[in-house]
Amino acid sequence: MECVVQGIIETKHVEALEILLQGLCGVHRDSLRIHELCLKSVPNLGLVSSEVRLLCDLEQPEPTWTVRHIGGAMRGAGAEQISVLVRTMAESKVSKNALRLFYALGYKLDHELLRVGFAFQFNSGAPMTVTVSSVNKMLKLHATDEAVPVTPGIQLVEVTAPASSENYTEVAAAMKSFCEYLAPLLHLSKPGVSTGVVPTAAAAAASLMSDGGGTTL
Ligand SMILES: *[C@@H]1O[C@H](CO)[C@@H](O)[C@H](O)[C@H]1NC(C)=O
């Protein structure tokens, strides 16, 4: 399982967010350039359709592919009360001919994206990853060199943390308190709950840029 929250930030404030994250996490950022292929199976003979994502970080010296399946979100009163989404997630390394395998299994390419940005991996009450990226679409099939932004001027911020049925409340609480540090710059909430940019972002960014981000956890 994993806990996840998402938000958006204007590209002009991303540098300030990076300074803040650098100070909070105390680690260096990893650059990302992730080619993502979203595949959907065609439902037939009583099989429900399923969706998998093939991901490849082109920034790595030797890019390798990963397959990720995101399952359903946890439901019920307990899940409603916590401010992060808890969902099942399965991930595995795959060989680079995985796309052909999924085509043979009856999956079809739904869309492909290129996410360009950076991530911080750190521990703040729980191991977490913050990813900041611009989402781009390809004008031609697999043409990652000719990608154009889906939402120009806006980047996606995602915080994820591995969790289990035993510890998700603890992980969610740790994630919630981490998100409070970012609140002046952006609002993070469950995926699908769009909250837009925060009005304090410009002032918070200006102050971070002038003091170089002194905050540490
Ligand atoms: C919660 O459980 C997951 C899965 O076992 C583990 O990776 C993570 O480190 C745990 N988090 C905490 C805060 O114990």
Averaged pLDDT for residues 129-141: 97
Structural domain including 114 reads 2-211
- How far apart (Å, rounded) are the C-alpha atoms in residues 215 and 101? 48
182 lines ligand 1 (CB under 6 A): no
Whether residue 17 is contained in a domain is answered as yes
Eight-class DSSP state of 151: S
Eight-class DSSP state of 99: H
- How far apart (Å, rounded) are the C-alpha atoms in residues 30 and 141? 27
Q: Is it the case that residue 215 has pLDDT exceeding 60? A: no
Whether residue 163 is contained in a domain is answered as yes
Q: What is the CATH number of the domain that holds 9?
A: 2.40.320.10
- pLDDT at residue 214, as a whole number: 56
Number of domains in the chain: 1
Whether residue 79 is contained in a domain is answered as yes
Q: Ligand 1 pocket test: which of 171, 176, 177, 178 has the largest number of ligand atoms within 8 Å of its C-beta?
A: 171
Interval 84-118: pLDDT, tens: 999 999 999 999 899 999 999 889 999 999 999 99
Whether residue 54 is contained in a domain is answered as yes
**Terminal-residue alpha carbon distance, the chain:** 26
| Cα(100) to centroid(ligand 1), Å | 34
Instruction: Return mean pLDDT, the chain.
Output: 92
Indicate the range of 1-5, 67-71, 73-77 predicted with least confidence. Answer: 73-77
Q: Is it the case that residue 50 has pLDDT exceeding 90? A: no
Interval 163-178: pLDDT, tens: 999 999 999 999 999 9
Q: In ligand 1, which atom is closest to the CA atom of 171? A: 13
- pLDDT at residue 95, as a whole number: 93
Whether residue 57 is contained in a domain is answered as yes
163 lines ligand 1 (CB under 6 A): yes
Whether residue 216 is contained in a domain is answered as no
171 lines ligand 1 (CB under 6 A): yes
Whether residue 217 is contained in a domain is answered as no
| Cα(30) to centroid(ligand 1), Å | 22
